[in-house]
């Protein structure tokens, strides 16, 4: 029986059981298609990194004496979508069975299901062998509970996989050290070097341009800093654990205009394309804690993101698809400001975070949640537009992980399925965690006035205009109480200032 096996661009798992042995009756197929570059507008680096990693992976398979059909974006026989390409290959080669790894996105699942309709071939899905638990595991775990809580799920995962445990109890006596992960960074300790590899992908970038593929952001094609192989990803992981994990916990929420990377790992692209497995990353961090006496708060904080949040967010996604992307709890309708595509705004925190994202295809979770996401929610931006922007701009963004994080956690558009309250703040939080405010045109202390920071009036206006939806939220008792006690004249001034900003989003 001759078999054709399809590998997607985020299925670069060299340790998959498919590749354990050479079989002359098996052929692998990989393809760069415009259906995947064009479903949203993507950052140039995301397209380049995906193509480069796919091509490297294909060559690795060939070095194992495996047969690989590879369709580049500019190949003349490329029909630019999975169905037509597979149909053409099957017709030419008379394969009797098509196998594909289950995709992580609902959009792709529906697309690959079309392959079952190709005549004269049997289509068989298999597991991607990457995640720690099945995609509906969390749904079953919470099946008899009214509310999902990540902390409960995370503790269960710690026990299930015996991570940072002493018997049935967590090492150190606490499950979660999040309160110890919120320090501001002011230059000390100094950050280590950027350990990412460097590549020249100018040829790939030229091919992308020749095919008229639209993109945004800086390509950095001649000095491309993202890993494209498992070996490079492992080296990045080892350097992070050796040099940066020590300080990661303390400063994982910090923001600074002179150091955009601080002590973050840059492993999310490697994880989400499956060049690394989550369990090996978790185990290496745990082993380093045991051998090097690393701070528990740093180790636990890092492991929580992968063992807890990453697996949990995937569960939320699959439990609520299809339709999760249609939620709009606050009925927000404003368009993305034009400066989301340029970074050219006088609000320095947003200019820094968006410009960094355009330059590097990366921002860490606080920039995404409490700067860009915070403003998007306060400004009443349509959450679907916010979701599509996040999905396109970040190199690690795949819908299964990005959609719940953006639409649920950041924009509260699902009305509380994921988060228990909207994650919004005034300028005081941004000033506390960063040095962004010091050189800003706007005054972070002022609510009204010519140069009052937009975050302040928009913050209070947000709660005022959504009292019908938020006044009974138990986690918002303090802010709702403050709103009720606010001087009516002051509230009117704040709302007037907010309305001015809302009408002039493009000029902020």
Checking if the pLDDT of 203 tops 90, the result is yes
282 Cα distance to chain centroid: 18
Instruction: Report pLDDT for 146.
Output: 86
- Domain 3-126 matching CATH 3.40.50.620: the answer reads yes
Instruction: Report pLDDT for 65.
Output: 95
Model pLDDT for residues 241-253, shown as the tens digit of each residue? 999 999 999 999 9
Instruction: Report pLDDT for 287.
Output: 96
- Weakest mean pLDDT among 7-11, 179-183, 277-281, 483-487: 179-183
Model pLDDT for residues 17-52, shown as the tens digit of each residue? 999 988 889 999 999 999 999 999 999 999 999 999
3-class state of residue 496 by DSSP? helix
3-class state of residue 126 by DSSP? strand
CATH classification code of 137-319 = 1.25.40.80
Closest CA to 201 of 384, 409, 14, 46: 46
Instruction: Report pLDDT for 259.
Output: 93
Q: Which residues contact 32 (CB under 8 A, 6 or more apart)?
A: 9, 50, 51, 54, 71, 72, 73, 78
User: What is the CATH architecture assignment of 326-507?
Assistant: Orthogonal Bundle (1.10)
Instruction: Report pLDDT for 23.
Output: 87
Model pLDDT for residues 254-288, shown as the tens digit of each residue? 999 999 999 999 999 999 999 999 999 999 999 99
Instruction: Report pLDDT for 192.
Output: 86
Element (H, E) at 29: strand 26-31
Q: Do the two domains 3-126 and 326-507 of this chain adopt the same fold?
A: no
Listed by start position, the domains of the chain span: 3-126, 137-319, 326-507
- Weakest mean pLDDT among 183-192, 277-286, 382-391, 392-401: 183-192
Model pLDDT for residues 43-71, shown as the tens digit of each residue? 999 999 999 999 999 999 999 999 999 99
Instruction: Report pLDDT for 226.
Output: 98
pLDDT band (50, 70, 90) for residue 292: confident
Instruction: Give CA angle at 366 (363, 371), nearest 5°.
Output: 90
Mean of per-residue pLDDT scores for the chain:
96
Contact between 276 and 238 under an 8 Å Cβ cutoff? The reply is no
Within 10 angstroms of residue 287's Cβ, the number of other Cβ atoms is 11
């Amino acid at each position: 029986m001759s078999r054709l096996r399809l590998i997607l661009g985020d299925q670069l798992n060299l340790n998959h059981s498919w590749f354990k042995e050479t079989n002359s009756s098996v052929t692998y197929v990989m393809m760069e298609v415009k259906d995947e570059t064009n479903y949203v507008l993507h950052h140039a680096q995301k397209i380049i990194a995906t193509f480069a990693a796919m091509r490297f992976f294909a060559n690795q398979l060939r070095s194992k004496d495996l047969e690989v059909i590879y369709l580049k974006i500019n190949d003349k026989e490329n029909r630019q979508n999975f169905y037509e390409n597979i149909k053409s290959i099957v017709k030419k080669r008379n394969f009797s069975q098509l196998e594909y790894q289950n995709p992580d996105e609902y959009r792709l699942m529906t697309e690959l299901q079309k392959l079952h309709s190709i005549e004269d071939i049997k289509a068989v899905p298999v597991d991607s062998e990457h995640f720690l638990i099945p995609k509906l595991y969390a749904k079953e775990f919470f099946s008899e509970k009214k509310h999902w809580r990540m902390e409960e799920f995370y503790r269960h995962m710690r026990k299930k996989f015996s991570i940072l445990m002493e018997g049935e109890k967590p090492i150190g006596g606490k499950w979660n050290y999040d309160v110890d992960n919120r320090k501001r960074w002011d230059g000390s300790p100094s950050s280590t070097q950027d350990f990412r590899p460097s590549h020249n992908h100018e040829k790939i970038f030229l091919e992308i341009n020749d095919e008229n593929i639209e993109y945004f952001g800086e390509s950095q094609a001649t000095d491309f800093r993202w890993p494209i192989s498992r070996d490079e990803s492992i080296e990045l992981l080892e350097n992070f654990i050796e040099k940066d994990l020590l300080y990661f916990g303390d400063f994982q929420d910090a923001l600074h205009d002179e150091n955009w990377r601080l002590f973050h790992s840059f492993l999310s692209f490697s994880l989400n394309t499956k060049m690394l497995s989550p369990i090996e990353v978790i185990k290496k961090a745990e082993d380093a804690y045991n051998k090097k006496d690393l701070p528990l708060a740093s180790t636990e904080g890092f492991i929580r993101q992968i063992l807890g949040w990453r697996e949990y967010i995937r569960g939320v996604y699959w439990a609520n698809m299809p339709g999760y992307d249609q939620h709009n709890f606050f009925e927000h309708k404003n368009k993305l400001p034009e400066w989301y595509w340029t970074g050219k705004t006088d609000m320095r925190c947003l200019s820094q975070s968006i410009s960094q994202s355009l330059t590097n295809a990366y921002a860490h979770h606080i920039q995404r949640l409490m700067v860009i996401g915070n403003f998007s929610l306060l400004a009443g931006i349509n959450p679907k537009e916010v979701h599509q922007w996040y999905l396109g701009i970040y190199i690690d963004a795949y819908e299964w992980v990005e959609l719940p994080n953006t639409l649920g956690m950041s924009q509260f558009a699902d009305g509380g399925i994921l988060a228990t309250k909207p994650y919004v703040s005034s300028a005081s939080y941004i000033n506390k965690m960063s040095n962004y405010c010091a050189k800003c045109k706007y005054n972070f202390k002022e609510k009204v006035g010519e140069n009052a920071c937009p975050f302040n009036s928009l913050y209070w206006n947000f709660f005022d205009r959504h009292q019908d939806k938020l006044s009974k939220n138990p986690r918002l008792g303090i802010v709702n109480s403050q709103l009720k006690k606010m001087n009516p004249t002051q509230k009117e001034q704040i709302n007037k200032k907010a309305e001015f900003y809302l009408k002039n989003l493009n000029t902020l």
